[in-house]
Amino acid sequence: MYIVLIGPQGSGKGTQADRLVASLGVMKISTGELFRAERAAGTELGNLVAGILDAGELVPDDVTIAIVEERLKQIDAGAASGAVFDGFPRNLSQAEALDAALAGRDAAIEHVVSIDISEEKLIDRLSGRRVCSSCGAVYHIDHSPPANDAICDRCGGSVVQRADDTPEAIQRRLAIFAETTKPLLDYYGERGIVSHVDGDQAMEAVEESILNVLQGRAV
Ligand code: AMP
């Protein structure tokens, strides 16, 4: 099964993708996480994308599609039964490239879930968001802080604010979302595979809504 989660930064896509991995056994393909990991490891690709990430701009499509293709090859090799995409595709040409990559595997996107969220909630989530610099676990300074101040509960890594969670970069990313990513809902909508869930709810309730949507269509 191949699922795309669409929502602005702070809508909880990454957290929900982690939960779907646990409940459905699919692979999470989060391009943002993959880029941050490359950067943390100091690879050539990581150095190439560092400035782009900090500015909240989009990494070029060919680079992004190549990193996704690598993950799809792992699925070909039996690593998982499908994928949940988080932060990809982000524009029409990425969506078309993904369709082509899946068609070549006799597969297709089955569900697109739009996580809808109010601006008020979004700003609260983004300004309080902290992430583990080693494993990518996500925390919130008020709602779900790590047990020990800035130390990751999961791996012991250091929990920090993302470099692109500054007001300027957040604004830029939200503008890109509205201009180039949101229109993907029309692209997929024509196939009748888009569902909307209320992202203002607590994480557990959002997860339940997503699972309901997936089950409702999985006949
Ligand atoms: P995210 O964690 O999804 O918010 O992504 C963090 C940053 O990684 C974005 O602001 C972009 O700079 C880059 N990025 C992630 N996914 C993509 C994508 N599909 N296309 C281009 N750039 C991306």
- What is the model's pLDDT at position 193? 95
Distance, CA of 29 to CA of 47 (rounded, Å): 21
Q: Give the residue, out of 31, 94, 138, with the most ligand 1 atoms within 8 A of its beta carbon, to mutate for a pocket test.
A: 31
Tokens of 217: 């269509």
Yes or no: say if 88 and 68 are a contact pair by the CB < 8 Å rule.
Answer: yes
Yes or no: say if 127 and 117 are a contact pair by the CB < 8 Å rule.
Answer: no
Q: Give the residue, out of 4, 16, 30, 53, with the most ligand 1 atoms within 8 A of its beta carbon, to mutate for a pocket test.
A: 53
pTM to 2 decimal places: 0.88
- What is the model's pLDDT at position 219? 33
Tokens of 194: 């888009």
Q: What is the pLDDT of residues 159-189, one digit of tens each?
A: 999 888 888 888 888 899 999 999 999 999 9
Q: What is the pLDDT of residues 65-95, one digit of tens each?
A: 999 999 999 999 999 999 999 999 999 999 9
CA of 95 to the centre of ligand 1 (A): 14
Q: What is the DSSP string of 9-25?
A: TTSSHHHHHHHHHHHH-
Active site residue 13: yes
Backbone angles phi, psi at 107, to 5 degrees: -130, 170
The fraction of the chain above a pLDDT of 70, given in percent, is: 99
Summarize the confidence of residues 187-192 as an average pLDDT: 96
pLDDT for residue 207 is more than 70: yes
Q: Using alpha carbons, list the distances in angstroms from residue 81 to 27, 107, 127, 212.
A: 8, 11, 35, 20
- What is the model's pLDDT at position 165? 85
Q: What is the pLDDT of residues 104-162, one digit of tens each?
A: 999 999 999 999 998 888 888 888 899 998 888 889 999 899 999 899 999 999 999 98
